[in-house]
Homo-oligomer: A and B are copies of this chain.
Amino acid sequence: MARTVGSHGPKTTEAIRKAGLKLIYRHGYEAMSLRQLAAEVGIQVGSLYNHISTKQDLLFDLIRAHMEALLLELDRALAIVGDPVTLLRAFVSFHVTYHIVRKREVFIAYSELRSLDPNHYEDIVAMRRRYESRLIAILEDGCRHHMFEVQDCRVAAYGILAMLTGVCTWFRPNGRLSRETVIEIYSQQVISGLRPAGD
């Protein structure tokens, strides 16, 4: 008397991840129920457990996958030759683009950090630090070459990251400003903000 309708086969796992991403983004991890998730996927609640081991594990999985992709693609984006300003432009461009395109992954990776188990939390925070350190390194290099002038590279980096990340809060794909324009505006604002006093 089993199985009459619903999702089948190995695609179900991917459907669950997709639906989980959507619902966690919209309602938050705590507020998303597995009932909702199952309904979104079109299967019974119990069937979820053929694909995930735990609600918590689904969250971790989504965030970890995102962080891994983020780090990998950052590597690619920064695999260029150029002075610190050029690298900083590349960073801004990459960060904004990624945060617009992967808006939901990015959002939950920030906002649901506190919903992670302690161990999972540590893993993700470590990955996030690796990401931040790439920007800090660029700023430090720029300071060494007197192209930037900042009191504290770490604080400056945090400010830049917050500014750029904020984009995914308000950016609308078909809104007034194109992605390229936003990148241009923020590149300008960021680089100006770091210019040595006399320039």
Contacts and interface: CB of A to CB of B under 8 A. Distances in A.
Interface of A: 26-28, 30-31, 111, 114-115, 150-152, 155-156, 158-167, 169-170, 177, 181-182, 184-186, 188-190, 192-195
B152 A185 contact: yes
Contacts of A167: 158
A29 to B, nearest CB: 8
Given A28-B115, A151-B184, A189-B194, 9 more contacts: A30-B31, A111-B111, A156-B185, A159-B163, A159-B164, A160-B163, A162-B166, A163-B166, A193-B193
Contacts of A114: 26-28
B185 A151 contact: yes
- Listed from nearest, the 9 A-B pairs whose CB atoms lie closest are A162-B166, A30-B30, A193-B193, A163-B163, A189-B193, A159-B163, A192-B193, A30-B31, A162-B162
* Dominant secondary structure of chain A at its interface with chain B: helix
A31 to B, nearest CB: 5
A115 B31 contact: yes
Contacts of A169: 158, 162
A158 B170 contact: yes
Contacts of A188: 151, 193
6 contacts: A159-B163, A162-B163, A163-B166, A189-B194, A192-B193, A193-B193
B150 A189 contact: yes
Contacts of A158: 166-167, 169-170
